[in-house]
Amino acid sequence: MAEIKNTLISTPQKKLELNCDVVVPGDKSISHRSMILGGLAEGVTEVSGFLESADCLSTMRAMQSMGVKIVKKDDKYLVHGVGKGGLKPPKSGKIDCGNSGTGMRLLSGVLAAQNFESEIFGDKSLNARPMGRIIKPLEIMGAIIESDENETAPLKFSPVEKLKAVNYQSPIASAQVKSCILLAGLYADCETVVSEPKLSRDHTENMLQGFGCQLDVDKQNLTVKMHGGQTLKATKVVVPADISSAAFFMVLACLSENSQLTFKNLCVNPSRSGVIDILKLMGADIDIVNETVNAGESIADVVVKSSQLHGIEIPHEYIASAIDEFPILFIAASLAKGETKLTGAMELRKKESDRITVMADGLKKLGCDCHELEDGIIIKGGKLSGGIVDSEDDHRCAMSFLIAGQFAENPITVKNCENIMTSFPNFLEICKNLGFDIV
């Protein structure tokens, strides 16, 4: 895999007509969970389609450092689970999650329940992200956690004998919070209950069931109940393609003339497919075909054709299921006809960067008329001029601006692109195969 340079230039092609299948790599959320749940299970879990990106490899190394043997055989990973009670103190005492909020928040649920001491930390961006959202419920469960005064990482976990089950109403729709509590809940005596204000991605619930756990999932009342003390049994995990990675090229297909891209084997779980709903409301021509259900996840091929996009007011019901796709949706809005308005999306300020500010600053530099709101943005669609923008080390902002470069009047130079490796190591390779070279 080619290394990704820090500054990249995306130059508009005269005529970009696309007509092919696109296979994007494995889903990031499911890949993280395959290593954690596989490591906690009894027996050998076989994972195919694992996303070999920096974030998921950090989680894999974290589990290895606690005594889980993980080996690659052909294109599969074999995770030799040690059982829930079989983890050992991390080799150096510390776990490095790199840039990954998912890795840190999910692993914290496990570390908080161990009878050994540990510490978890990340890079500059991750160490600045809010951890109070997991510290609070974990402390109610009896975890002993030390953080800095802003409730940020590094987090230090003291040994505990047992956690208490919790009935927790999460104030935010966050799969990371929900998953952290469920993982900690595996180590509690009684029933753990987590409720959320909107449905966040439900891979942890699906996968725990795949590993043989009993859960009571009430989608109507947005509540999950799980008895503690259950054991996980090794299974086979087939990781589908990541809709969050496909989203960049879905927007590319919509905006290109005479084009049709078919995304193969995509995870279109309704808690993840908000980007398709939003693009369709904007006028996109998208078909979902060959749909099947595998281990609780809907998988399908998604056909996206050239479309005339127009601005919309984004319905709040789609925010949670499109939470990672807003950077590229903002690019779609900037090139659509008319105004797009997003509100109710304060969470975007808490991601790998403040995605509202980073995208608004970049779009303004490219001549777009947009206006930041506290919890969203207003974007007037039209043309993009080209220029120099900064992703602020945010992989999804970087890839979004690079796609924008194909439709701008002049090249777009994007600074700080290295973190594309955290989620989509072959992004540039796919760009090249589609006929545009980013240098």
Binding mask 88-127 for ligand S3P (x = CB under 6 A): --------------x-------------------------
Residue 162 to residue 81: CA distance in whole angstroms: 21
How is residue 30 written in tokens?
């499911």
Q: How many CB atoms lie within 10 A of CB 353?
A: 26
Chain-centre distance of CA 256, in angstroms?
26
C-beta of 350: minimal distance to ligand S3P in Å? 7
C-beta of 252: minimal distance to ligand S3P in Å? 21
C-beta of 353: minimal distance to ligand S3P in Å? 12
Looking at beta carbons only, is 84 or 201 nearer to ligand S3P? 201
Cis amide linkage into residue 154, ω under 30° from 0? yes
Region of 140-148, 156-164, 170-178, 216-224 interacting with ligand S3P (CB under 6 A): 170-178
Residue 432 to residue 436: CA distance in whole angstroms: 5
C-beta of 365: minimal distance to ligand S3P in Å? 25
Looking at beta carbons only, is 255 or 397 nearer to ligand S3P? 397
R_g (Cα) of the chain, nearest Å = 21
Region of 143-151, 172-180, 207-215, 280-288 interacting with ligand S3P (CB under 6 A): 172-180
Looking at beta carbons only, is 32 or 305 nearer to ligand S3P? 32
Of 208, 215, 261, give the one whose Cα is nearest residue 237: 208
Binding mask 209-238 for ligand S3P (x = CB under 6 A): ------------------------------
C-beta of 162: minimal distance to ligand S3P in Å? 26
C-beta of 201: minimal distance to ligand S3P in Å? 6
The β-bridge partners of 299 are: 267, 292
CB-side neighbour CA atoms (13 Å) of 408: 26
Task: Write out 168-184 in H/E/C secondary structure.
Answer: EECCCCCHHHHHHHHHH
Looking at beta carbons only, is 173 or 368 nearer to ligand S3P? 173
Looking at beta carbons only, is 152 or 200 nearer to ligand S3P? 200
Q: Please identify which residue in 87, 120, 175, 356 interacts with ligand S3P, judged by CB under 6 A.
A: 175
Tell whether residue 324 is a contact of ligand S3P (CB under 6 A): yes
Residue type at position 280: K
Q: Please identify which residue in 31, 59, 170, 176 interacts with ligand S3P, judged by CB under 6 A.
A: 176
State which of positions 182-211 bind ligand S3P (CB under 6 A): 200-201
The owner of tokens 């709101």 is 373
CA distances from 238 to 27, 51, 61, 72, 299 (A): 10, 11, 20, 15, 11
Of 402, 415, 361, 392, give the one whose Cα is nearest residue 99: 392
Looking at beta carbons only, is 29 or 426 nearer to ligand S3P? 29
Residue 152 to residue 232: CA distance in whole angstroms: 30
Tell whether residue 129 is a contact of ligand S3P (CB under 6 A): no
Q: At what angle do helices 28-40 and 175-185 cross, to 10 degrees?
A: 10
Residue 296 to residue 205: CA distance in whole angstroms: 9
C-beta of 267: minimal distance to ligand S3P in Å? 12
Region of 35-43, 45-53, 175-183, 297-305 interacting with ligand S3P (CB under 6 A): 175-183
Residues contacting 431, CB < 8 A, separation 6+: 402, 437, 438
Tell whether residue 29 is a contact of ligand S3P (CB under 6 A): yes
Looking at beta carbons only, is 160 or 295 nearer to ligand S3P? 295
State which of positions 389-428 bind ligand S3P (CB under 6 A): none
Looking at beta carbons only, is 29 or 34 nearer to ligand S3P? 29
Of 362, 360, 308, 359, give the one whose Cα is nearest residue 335: 308
Of 176, 173, 33, give the one whose Cα is nearest residue 102: 176
C-beta of 204: minimal distance to ligand S3P in Å? 7
CB-side neighbour CA atoms (13 Å) of 93: 4
Judged by CB under 6 A, the number of residues near ligand S3P is 10
Looking at beta carbons only, is 102 or 269 nearer to ligand S3P? 102
C-beta of 102: minimal distance to ligand S3P in Å? 4
Residue 418 to residue 176: CA distance in whole angstroms: 24
Q: Please identify which residue in 207, 323, 368, 398 interacts with ligand S3P, judged by CB under 6 A.
A: 323
Chain-centre distance of CA 42, in angstroms?
27
Q: How many CB atoms lie within 10 A of CB 220?
A: 5
User: Looking at the annotation, which residues are catalytic?
Assistant: 324
Region of 62-70, 120-128, 174-182, 290-298 interacting with ligand S3P (CB under 6 A): 174-182
Tell whether residue 174 is a contact of ligand S3P (CB under 6 A): yes
Residues that bind ligand S3P (CB under 6 A): 29, 102, 174-176, 179, 200-201, 323-324
